[in-house]
Chain A
């Protein structure tokens, strides 16, 4: 069990800087999710912690130990890869025992640990099979088993669920969460899936283009996104954005109406409203010309655009709603659920 500390971490490939001064402190036993679109540097960051990529500058601490120049073997970590990376020529048992054998642990102890891990993950019946005889979900479990028998200080997960089908993914997501709670091992989990990130993480680090956009609890990120990027990335369907002007505690909408906001400032802003925060109201200020209705059962997504403009706008309404295409629907947005961002910096404007 250990804390992890990233200090001013920079990664260059040749002359291109791909990670820019990343800072972060992960507590003992915390489940940290690093999330971002593909190419944002999240896997690179994870691989730097693992020791599979060199550090250009900055420091990585695991526990109190500076690990920058340590081999992966000496960092006391275990990693679950996207393609599982099981050793194809070894049985499940040998796969799990490989790392223990190298550490010269007694055969008796190896046997005990492998059986224990197999029981936790319910893979006891497959111990003598080769990986190619297993299904995707079973391989996933074996990869987890190989990580937990080592009893490391840190677990690293590199998009471990992205090769599974949707149903299995939800199931394994829960199991990973439960397992991590039970073992209490500090974990770093990389994913591009924001639902996975929200459900798994104690805290989320949102990366974009090699910069940390925001680092906080899932609810923090949802309620108070620090930038337009985070606001658009977290939450599904994505937040609606309208560029507009802030004056006297009100923002003007393209249709001519205004809505009240909490901020007292003035200037060019980007207005952000989540689809699920729109409240249907016949006298509401937000007029949406509906084009499509997506019935999700519990609620309906109204896809359309702001009346008189081409700004796309989505609203989520409870229950079943269906109207002609072109119908104008009116909504209100509660003051406290309206987000404002500076137009030039795209950073959140505090109330």
Chain B
């Protein structure tokens, strides 16, 4: 047990945590409470009249086919981003773990994408896949693929998934590499002496031993895909074409600030808030307890 430090003046500890509490109150708690309050209101586009309607906004949302479609789309998007970025990161980490010479260089290069801002990451992909200017549509034409994500919804979805996953690979890679490097070398050597070839060692020893990291990253990636991909969507497709890449977090923005349905938008963000609370709960509850060996 750590010894408690006793301060003679009782206001000092409060003073020390005050900045953090004030920031949390102003930038998190207050807007969140405003959103909850707003979600119970219906307001006209000019803000001239406001009506308190209890759960009408939620009822309307849950009956709205477009919203439910967006929900399904978000689940698909998140699953695809998480799977793609985690599996690629796992493969890269497995190889980087074996590299002896120049390991630091590889690692540094692989971490770089994480430092790129979401909007910039989106812009890179927009340029690479621009139907008229981009290099990839030019190559794809040779194999007979007509790439135009401005018109083709599934191509647009594919593009935002790639862009979002690409950015997250670096983060996942870092965690996987750290997890792999904390596995004692002798365990892998024991596997080799027991007769397991590299692929078998990976699946029977390394993969189970990094499973706590896998579960942790699963939650982190789901949260990332749900909430932090706004910038990428906004830069690449703006939710289009025909809403085919409008995930929940983008719809909040679109309905609120473009469509000016503030009540409906607030109700959506309250639902998202509940989702993030649930995910955080799952993470705290199970990451420590459930996955262990």
Contacts and interface: CB of A to CB of B under 8 A. Distances in A.
Given A102-B195, A102-B200, A85 B190 contact: yes
B195 A52 contact: no
Nearest to B204: A98
Contact of B190 (A71, A87, A102, A103): A87
Interface in A124-160: 130, 146, 150
A72 B208 contact: no
B27 interface: no
Interface of B: 184, 186-187, 189-197, 200, 204-205, 208-209, 211, 293
B193 A77 contact: yes
Pairs of residues from A and B, 10 with the lowest C-beta to C-beta distance, nearest first = A89-B293, A99-B194, A85-B186, A73-B195, A85-B190, A102-B195, A81-B186, A72-B193, A89-B208, A72-B192
18 contacts: A52-B193, A72-B192, A73-B192, A73-B194, A73-B195, A73-B196, A79-B193, A81-B186, A81-B189, A85-B184, A85-B187, A88-B187, A88-B293, A89-B293, A98-B196, A99-B193, A102-B200, A103-B195
Interface in A61-78: 71-73, 77-78
B103 to A, nearest CB: 16
Interface in A34-83: 50-52, 71-73, 77-79, 81-83
Given A50-B193, A52-B189, A81-B189, 10 more contacts: A51-B192, A52-B192, A72-B193, A86-B190, A87-B190, A89-B208, A89-B293, A98-B194, A98-B196, A103-B195
Contacts of A77: 193
Nearest to A94: B204
Most chain A CB atoms below 10 A, which of B196, B197, B211: B196
A102 B189 contact: no
Interface of A: 50-52, 71-73, 77-79, 81-83, 85-89, 98-99, 102-103, 130, 146, 150
Contacts of A50: 189, 193
A228 to B, nearest CB: 35
B231 to A, nearest CB: 39
Contacts of A79: 189-190, 193
Contacts of A98: 191, 194, 196, 204
B197 A73 contact: yes
A150 B192 CA distance: 13
Contacts of B192: 51-52, 71-73
A189 to B, nearest CB: 16
Contacts, number: 62
A87 B211 CA distance: 14
B186 A150 contact: no
B209 A88 contact: yes
A51 B200 CA distance: 18
B213 to A, nearest CB: 13
Contact of B187 (A73, A87, A99, A130): A87
Contacts of A81: 186, 189-190
A303 B293 CA distance: 52
Contact of A83 (B186, B204, B209): B186
A99 B190 CA distance: 9
Contacts of A86: 187, 190
A103 B193 CA distance: 12
Nearest to A131: B293
A103 B196 CA distance: 9
A152 to B, nearest CB: 9
A72 B190 CA distance: 9
Nearest to B185: A85
Contacts of A103: 195
A73 B190 contact: no
Nearest to A79: B193
A53 to B, nearest CB: 10
Contact of B205 (A87, A146, A150): A87
Contacts of A130: 293
Contacts of B193: 50-52, 72-73, 77-79, 99
A146 B189 CA distance: 14
Nearest to A77: B193
A83 B186 CA distance: 8
B204 to A, nearest CB: 8
Nearest to B194: A99
B184 A83 contact: yes
B110 to A, nearest CB: 26
